[in-house]
Amino acid sequence: MSIRHRQGNWVHLLGLSTVIFAVLLTSTTAARADQPPGTASFCTVAQSVEGDFETGVWLTGITQGFVMRVLLDEQTTLLNTLGDAVAPEAVPAGSILYVKAEWTDQGLLAKFVSVGDVGRVTVTGVVEQAAAGLLQVAGVEFVPEGLAFAEYFPAAGEIVTVHGRVAENGVLAATGVQPQNSVKLSGKIEKTQVTSDSEGVIQVSSKAVRVTAQTEILSQDKVKKTIRDLAVGQYVDILGQVINGEIVATRIAVADPNRVTVAGVVTAFDSISVSLKAADKVVVVKLGSQTKIAGTLAVGAKAFVEALLQPDGSLLALVVRVKGADDNGQTNASVRGAISSRGADFIVVSGVTVKADPALVIASPSAQQIKFSDLKVGDLVEVAGTKQPDGTILALKIALLPTASPARIKGVIMSLGAGFFLLGDVKVLVTEKTVIRSKDTILKFADLKVGDQVTASGSKGSDSSFQADTVEVMPASTDPPYSSVRGAIVSMAADSLVVAGVTVKVNDKTVFGAGGQQIQFKDLKVGDWIEVAGVKQTDGSLLAVKVAVMPATTSNVSTVEGVIETLGADYLVVKGMKILVTEQTVIRQGDKALKFSDLKNGLTVAVGFSRQGDVLTALKIQVRAPSA
């Protein structure tokens, strides 16, 4: 929810407020090798939010069993699943967060956070991979399913919003996708650059907008104009598309600078005014004899108001649109589940009767269209339609869903055999029907080689093998192998230090910081808790790009990876560090849960642990697969 006016340089996005974020993703994805080292994108499960913007707001989450703490500031964009801006304290514990952050002197600073929940995940960004059974957007991988993909499947490079859920097997299943290449922008023209009578570039609210011969330009009284008629200082409404990361205008209308838009929730109304809560403020808008109201006003309803700013500072509504108001009074409805019973022209799904034209074509997982009569009891379906007065749904679309999301496994090929390869200790079987590709290129089994990074989709066998239906070979990365380490400084040398068993080398380009201030290597001392971002070297050391001394409130969590040197009754020793193991410690190898008794000396493990004084307690122990 937002309130925007044309005074100053406000940007008004009508539609998803994540569009501009998607624009930024276009440029950063296309030039990833030029991104500053230490940037990060990841999903985490929210645990708590503590602090304030004066002392620092810290978001704590769990990522793959490890504790993550991320700093939020007043520049952090924080959106809920609807794309509305929310305050940090509104983030519910247990919700899934998609975070884009960068390293600073104070640690990880979030630039963008999108809030979801286990049953509802939303990611907006550039499509990085689009293949059978795989959709990767802004670094997040989804398995496509549902109605949306029957009619539209995005291509790599497009900007989309993907709606999904966490499936029973832990896979992110995409249940819907929406293209986000369109953008609406309002503001004052700050610069103009005219290259011809019909082409050029204008800058509006700090955003460059390209004008082409196809751009329609209208004056305030709806008369057609050219780019030469536009002038610095005019207020304009722009409708355009994002093409290759650039906003290209399809329509520009010169606007009244006194026009105001308000979007929010109705808190009160009468015959002369309506009050809306927009963000954390209540805005009162007067209703006049010329005000047009679409829909029925009600307390709690979402409404969008176009108004004029009056000389006394009040707002007079021109149009009030109540969200969800339809010309025909019908309400969109959907239902998902297994068919429990059926008749000639209806099915019952999750207790809801769905009526349908027997000739309705059904979308299936194989992309083949089947008939309504082919549906049977037990089939899993998703229905979209309109709710009827009797509570039934009249189906407009029905999609037959797979009974289960396909299993997926990813990793580096350790060895190859006759009709199989090993990913860690998992044997992946490949047949003549297995589709092997790298982007749009179809490969043969003989093209695979040890060291390839692959993602296989298929099914798990009873003998712990994996039958691959598709194998996607990932292109070799041109990025340097960035890595990070966090913990107390154990020892120091002239140009290096040791943290959590990792040797960290520094040079004249390494940046050091503490509490927002730049410091020098000589200011560090043994015992300081630091966070290091750098480039992993061939000898296993880390060449530091940034070193940040951590605040005391964030210095109690760290990780260490190495061989188990000693096992006690309730502890283990890794790289000389004694770490306690409790009943709350999560122990896993791949997807398999282990017991403490399954651990043995010599196993390679990654341990996430908390520190209270000199006592280290394991949060998670991840057992690494042995080399083939």
| Per-10-residue mean pLDDT, the chain, length 628 | 32 26 27 44 75 70 69 77 68 75 76 67 72 72 67 70 65 74 77 90 85 89 89 86 76 83 84 81 87 83 84 87 54 77 89 85 69 86 80 83 68 85 84 82 87 82 79 69 73 89 88 78 85 80 82 56 88 87 83 86 83 75 71
Answer yes or no: are the C-beta atoms of 10 and 207 closer than 8 Å: no
Dihedral angle computed from the Cα positions of residues 29, 32, 38 and 43, in that order, rounded to the nearest 10 degrees: 30
Please give the pLDDT value at position 521: 92
HSE-CB at 357 with a 13 A cutoff on CA atoms is 7
DSSP state of 356: -
Residue 574, SS3 per DSSP? strand
The domain ranges of the chain are 17-115, 121-179, 182-254, 259-322, 331-400, 407-473, 482-554, 557-623
Answer yes or no: are the C-beta atoms of 552 and 590 closer than 8 Å: no
Token pair 């040197």 in the structure block, residue: 565
CATH for 17-115 (2.40.50.140, 3.10.20.740, 1.10.260.40, 3.40.920.10): 2.40.50.140
Please give the pLDDT value at position 14: 24
Radius of gyration for the chain, computed over Cα atoms and rounded to the nearest angstrom: 28
Q: Which residues have CB under 8 Å from 165's CB, separation 6+?
A: 118, 119, 120, 121, 172, 173, 175
The one-letter amino acid at 83:
G
Answer yes or no: are the C-beta atoms of 46 and 95 closer than 8 Å: yes
Residue 373, SS3 per DSSP? helix
Q: Comparing C-alpha atoms, which of 11, 98, 107 is closest to residue 56?
A: 107
Please give the pLDDT value at position 17: 26
Cα gap 602→393, rounded to integer Å: 61
Burial class, 113, CB count within 10 angstroms (exposed 0-12 / middle 13-18 / buried 19+): buried
For 105-234, where are the E strands, in sequence order?
Answer: 107-115, 121-131, 134-137, 140-144, 159-166, 172-179, 182-194, 200-204, 207-211, 216-218, 224-225
Q: In whole angstroms, how far apart are CA 420 and each of 416, 430, 444? A: 6, 5, 13
Chain-centroid distance, C-alpha 358: 39
Token pair 């306690």 in the structure block, residue: 580
CATH number of 557-623: 2.40.50.320
CATH topology of domain 331-400: OB fold (Dihydrolipoamide Acetyltransferase, E2P) (2.40.50)
Find the distance separating the first CA and the last CA of the chain, reported in whole Å: 54
Q: Which residues have CB under 8 Å from 428's CB, separation 6+?
A: 409, 420, 421, 422, 456, 465, 466, 468, 471
Q: In whole angstroms, how far apart are CA 3 and each of 207, 265, 301, 304? A: 19, 12, 16, 10
Cα gap 144→480, rounded to integer Å: 31
Please give the pLDDT value at position 35: 37
Tokens for 127? Answer: 């499509």
Dihedral angle computed from the Cα positions of residues 84, 87, 90 and 91, in that order, rounded to the nearest 10 degrees: 80
Answer yes or no: are the C-beta atoms of 97 and 90 closer than 8 Å: no
Chain-centroid distance, C-alpha 66: 19
Q: Tell me if domain 259-322 and domain 407-473 are identical in fold.
A: yes
Please give the pLDDT value at position 49: 79
Q: Comparing C-alpha atoms, which of 76, 88, 86 is closest to residue 51?
A: 88
Architecture label for domain 182-254: Beta Barrel (2.40)
Cα gap 512→550, rounded to integer Å: 11
Architecture label for domain 482-554: Beta Barrel (2.40)
Dihedral angle computed from the Cα positions of residues 442, 448, 454 and 458, in that order, rounded to the nearest 10 degrees: 70
Architecture label for domain 121-179: Beta Barrel (2.40)
What count of other Cβ atoms lies within 10 Å of the Cβ of residue 531? 25
Cα gap 310→418, rounded to integer Å: 79
Q: Which residues have CB under 8 Å from 330's CB, separation 6+?
A: 386, 387
Token pair 């290759």 in the structure block, residue: 244
Tokens for 55? Answer: 């002392």
CATH for 407-473 (2.40.50, 3.40.50, 3.90.25, 2.60.120): 2.40.50
DSSP state of 570: S
Q: Comparing C-alpha atoms, which of 203, 239, 212, 208 is closest to residue 14?
A: 239
CATH for 259-322 (1.10.10.10, 2.40.50.140, 3.30.56.10, 3.40.50.300): 2.40.50.140
Q: What is the largest CA-CA distance in the chain?
A: 84
Answer yes or no: are the C-beta atoms of 620 and 558 closer than 8 Å: no
Burial class, 175, CB count within 10 angstroms (exposed 0-12 / middle 13-18 / buried 19+): buried
